[in-house]
Chain A
């Protein structure tokens, strides 16, 4: 089995402003993201040979991409819950690696604000599947499904709930700070730990600032063969590894799934590190964009991805390891928390930030001399998860 390492490059990206885009439809967002990516890669729409469109609720089939007016090329819609954006990039990357496509478009979109309700539409609650089982078993909100992680983490590591909640608040404060430096982020406000702690409870132990933004947005990438990349631009980024690990609902059924780590995260990152030849991620990864749908999951991801020692994320959070100036900056663009979370777009939005960071183009958020960047995108929830990890670098080895 061959590794994908250094076979595929990203040569152009686009991302809309995330947020409450009341005046924009799905088509508008797709055009905005795609044309930024075309321009960035220096290509015309007709140069795209195949496209993968990711969306969870905002359209079915490749026809959703019709607003781009692409002329009879292969287009598929892909979906893997909140990891959908990464899934589109994954499909495009594999097609290029296989040598059957030279220039591919990966694009993700979600229009969550058109539903007219707070939160995420679709199967409104966790446990509601579109197969008619909705309403038989209990349904609870997405925040509740991640609150389980917090309750368990606090209990497992003998933290007082208020101390634990403070730790989570630190993560929200960091992500809001980073997002405030980013004009495309959904939110631009700075928050304090005290403010986060006093915010209304959404699903105890999680409060308002522990939860990511529910946003509209789209993001896109132009993917090509690594050996062709420099013909598009002098500073492409190269895919070093990509992996996907999908659970079988272990967390919902068996007791050894511990709710203080997500095995899906561990497996996906372990495989990616092996492919990329990474031995010590904490030292070798320059910056990371991870799935902070809820602050507690960012904390657990630190441990699952080997950025912090198991059960000891607290030490690194308190030391500022993951801030912009820390050893391993995480969610430099504000993350899902502050940048927002249009489900199908998020995985590509993460890559958009890494792409800019590795090319020294992240402006006030720029980290020092980055070499390797990582994105981690989770679909589902604790125990019923889909974890994707991409590792990209600015040099071809």
Chain B
């Protein structure tokens, strides 16, 4: 039976309390806080984190990676390929971007299920991430949050089968963003609800229930997209779902994460599911996709991994100024150091294995693992001087400890001071790298760190590389 075999998510650790926005604009705010992507995160890096979480160390037999987003960093150039590279998937992995619709996540899920069912791929990862921008002072500024989810679709060790699905499309203009616009716009709220969202969702949900001969009461959990909490509660009521059935949409904790939202809710629902629970899952946007899922005995496996609760707990508050700066919503004084030159695309290509999945080398003669500085590829072992005796060695999945550190006030960064570390990996090898997602006052020698894929800089193209990240905040 085809279904979901593993789940993962990523919530950026920064939170903007909505009161901060209220203070800034002297306006009424919603309750809660929103997750804000770090200055070095975007939809791609968040999807990499969620995908790695979902893969849990094994990329074996993953033949497809589908990425859903409305905020791809490149308009032309595939994001899924970057994600597949960073997560070190095989060269023949089928990659695709599903985009331009809030429903892209469930569309990608539907495609993955179909492809696994017809046997062209063994396992497919569906990952969704969004970093949507709401104009300052507007409702969406308060509403939108950043996050990512990933689910693996396969036919072995299924934790929740995908029993059936039902989809409709609708060319309804409720939310949109034009090609040259930074901010999401929307039609009148009541029009969106009464003419668009509610009837479309009703039609999709009724459609799948009719198709599967199920009623509202048959579901242990219902997981569905909505633009905001009020709309979410309204639909639940109108459909006759009891509060106990309805998966909490996480809006007050992380905001509306766009294409990732429904899948993040699904991840949370599966974490709490019991064997044989029937789950209704509905994605929305330009129509709706409804799915019936059923948890299997294997669902107990997911409880042993990091859950949504832990992800939500790992957080650090930021203020409104940082939020504006990190997301390019304000122009600031440039750093006094000379500007760094653009990376050479040629060098980056030559070192692509190092850039993508932090591949270094290991000497077959003396066993020393080494990560040569980017652009300084080595052929001679720095330890035993053996020539051309290296095998590839991946560092991105290795854990290490901070051997030394420096908090750099001169380094150009949107989150000063620049935190830099000498990381010694537990299984050998050393990397001098930038650290991220950390509290500079708590950085100390000996601190355990892991690696995370981040945006280093944006010029004509975007440069991604790996940074260290403290394992505990």
The chain A residues found within 8 Å of chain B, CB to CB, are 115, 117-119, 121, 124-125, 127-129, 131-141, 143-145, 147-149, 151-152, 155, 200-204, 206, 248-250, 252-255, 257, 259, 383
Main secondary structure of the interface of A (DSSP, over half): loop
Given contacts A136-B343, A151-B406, A203-B410, contact A253 B372 (CB under 8 A): yes
| A139 & B411 in contact (Cβ 8 Å cutoff) | yes
Within 8 A of A (CB), among B139-183: none
> When A and B form their complex, which 5 residue pairs have the shortest distance between CB atoms, in order from nearest?
A132-B344, A133-B375, A147-B406, A204-B407, A141-B410
Contact-size category for B: 35 or more
Q: In the complex, given contacts A127-B432, A147-B405, what are 14 additional A-B residue pairs having Cβ atoms less than 8 angstroms apart?
A: A117-B337, A118-B410, A133-B374, A135-B456, A135-B459, A152-B404, A201-B409, A202-B410, A203-B408, A206-B406, A249-B376, A253-B370, A253-B429, A254-B370
Given contacts A253-B372, A254-B370, contact A144 B418 (CB under 8 A): yes
Interface: B420 (CB within 8 A): yes
Residue among B346, B407, B467 making CB contact with A201, cutoff 8 Å: B407
Residue among A118, A127, A155, A383 making CB contact with B446, cutoff 8 Å: A155
B residues less than 8 Å from A200 (CB atoms) = 409
Given contacts A144-B408, A254-B370, contact A151 B465 (CB under 8 A): no
Could you give 17 example pairs across A and B, Cβ below 8 Å? A118-B337, A121-B338, A127-B432, A133-B347, A135-B341, A136-B351, A136-B375, A137-B374, A137-B375, A138-B420, A140-B418, A141-B411, A148-B404, A151-B405, A249-B373, A249-B376, A254-B430
| A259 & B422 in contact (Cβ 8 Å cutoff) | yes
Q: CA A115 – CA B348 in complex, angstroms?
A: 28
Interface: B342 (CB within 8 A): yes
Residue among A124, A133, A152 making CB contact with B344, cutoff 8 Å: A133
Q: CA A118 – CA B465 in complex, angstroms?
A: 27
Q: CA A141 – CA B411 in complex, angstroms?
A: 6
Q: Kindly report which residue of chain B lies nearest to residue A256, judged by CB atoms.
A: B383
Shortest Cβ distance from residue A212 to the other chain B in the assembled complex, whole angstroms: 14
| B465 & A248 in contact (Cβ 8 Å cutoff) | no
B residues less than 8 Å from A115 (CB atoms) = 338
Q: CA A129 – CA B374 in complex, angstroms?
A: 10
Given contacts A136-B456, A138-B420, A249-B373, contact A124 B339 (CB under 8 A): yes
Q: Kindly report which residue of chain A lies nearest to residue B425, judged by CB atoms.
A: A255
A residues less than 8 Å from B407 (CB atoms) = 144, 147, 201, 203-204
A residues less than 8 Å from B383 (CB atoms) = 254
Shortest Cβ distance from residue B213 to the other chain A in the assembled complex, whole angstroms: 57
Residue among B339, B373, B404 making CB contact with A151, cutoff 8 Å: B404
| A259 & B411 in contact (Cβ 8 Å cutoff) | no
| A140 & B420 in contact (Cβ 8 Å cutoff) | yes
Interface: B243 (CB within 8 A): no
Given contacts A143-B408, A151-B406, A202-B409, contact A138 B465 (CB under 8 A): yes
A residues less than 8 Å from B138 (CB atoms) = none
